[in-house]
Chain A
Amino acid sequence: MDIGKKIINVINKTQKETGYDIQVYVSQSLLEKDPVKSAKKVFSFYEMNLYPQSILIYINKRNRKFTFICNEEITKKVSRSYFNTLSEHFGEDLLSTRLERALLILLTTLQITLPKKPSLNYEQQDLA
């Protein structure tokens, strides 16, 4: 199966199981200085701000930077350290494999970890 379709399937599954709206945006802009700013633009452009359970994974392939954008309520629920660990692992995966594969790993991780323990402290959880 095409890797693009695999990504869509995993996103779809995660959405059904967790209720979170996850979207991925891959940018290739060289001129982009601040990915967070661009990610926020994308977030509002796709009207993700209207739905509080939205998570945007924004990746700049050229600048080798990524960011997760979500509503602060989600961060409160899941804890900041959950996203920090997620970022760490995603960074490592991106170094060791292709972007699409790293993305699949990240989405699968989200699919597994998000629904089970959204309100628990993820500092003690091993995401790998």
Chain B
Amino acid sequence: MRLYLVLLIQFTLFLTSSEAIAKSKVINPENIIQQNSQLALESILIKHQQTTGEAISVVISNKDHSDKNLLNNSSTQKEALLILTPNNNKVKFHFNYLFEANHKSNSIEKKIDDFYLDAIKNYRPSDAIVLTVTTLLKLIESPLVLTGKANEILLKNNVKLTPQKNSLFGSIISWLLFLICSLFFAFVIYGVLFPQIHYNSNKFKKLYFYDYIKLHIGSLIAKSTPEESNLESHYGYW
């Protein structure tokens, strides 16, 4: 009976502690990331803590918390805090000395920051944040990411990380614009380098790009003139 009581107390203690962890893992007061993404991240971070003992929390807020150190340095647990401020694309990574002992944490912040800036260009903000957190776990060699369990949790929570379609569309548009501009430039250069020459009884005139365009537009307007049908052509080559 005693044994049962002890086990019951231990189980309730475990449940309450894990509940406490679960509540504090992803702080998303402004609902910047979707509910399913938040749940997926929370369960990934909880499992990471259970397997490695590293407590990583994520704060997603447009209010700037980067100057404050929100970590308790007297803690006996390995702790890290990732702060993401999507409105100014800032990433801050805080960690205590126990966490630092295990990882080269100074370079992590720079890498995460670079990754987040890239991700935000190609993905929706919510997806970019999820990707940034999983990349952080990859950098600290979390067994969850290395074994692919993190991906399984994401899929279970219906989190699909697909690049934004409009970024591809935007790149196509910019390439097309570049092509049109370079073609126009090439035409101008061509017109300048190889002018057409017109001789009549009074003068001879070199026709550059502008005249060339004028000639073709002028002829398009005058296309319907009936006189053209009376014309005879005598063709030759050399």
Contact = CB atoms under 8 A, between A and B. Distances in A.
A and B together in one complex = yes
Nearest to A41: B219
Which of A4, A45, A62, A75 is most buried by chain B, counting CB atoms within 10 A of its CB? A45
A27 B199 CA distance: 12
- Indicate the size class of the contact surface on chain A: 35 or more
B233 interface: yes
A46 B233 CA distance: 17
Contacts of B235: 35-36, 65-67, 87
Given A24-B198, A25-B198, A44-B228, A87 B234 contact: yes
Contacts of A27: 196
A8 B199 contact: yes
Which of B203, B204, B232 is most buried by chain A, counting CB atoms within 10 A of its CB? B232
A contact patch SS: helix
B196 A40 contact: no
B contact patch SS: mixed
A4 to B, nearest CB: 5
Contact of A4 (B195, B199, B227, B228): B199
B235 to A, nearest CB: 5
A7 B237 CA distance: 21
Contacts of A12: 201-202
Given A8-B204, A94-B238, A95-B238, A43 B231 contact: yes
Contact of A29 (B196, B198, B228, B237): B196
A12 B202 CA distance: 7
Contacts of A24: 197-200
5 contacts: A8-B200, A22-B201, A23-B201, A24-B199, A45-B219
Given A24-B198, A43-B228, A94-B238, 12 more contacts: A4-B199, A11-B200, A23-B198, A25-B198, A40-B228, A40-B231, A45-B219, A65-B237, A67-B235, A69-B231, A69-B232, A83-B234
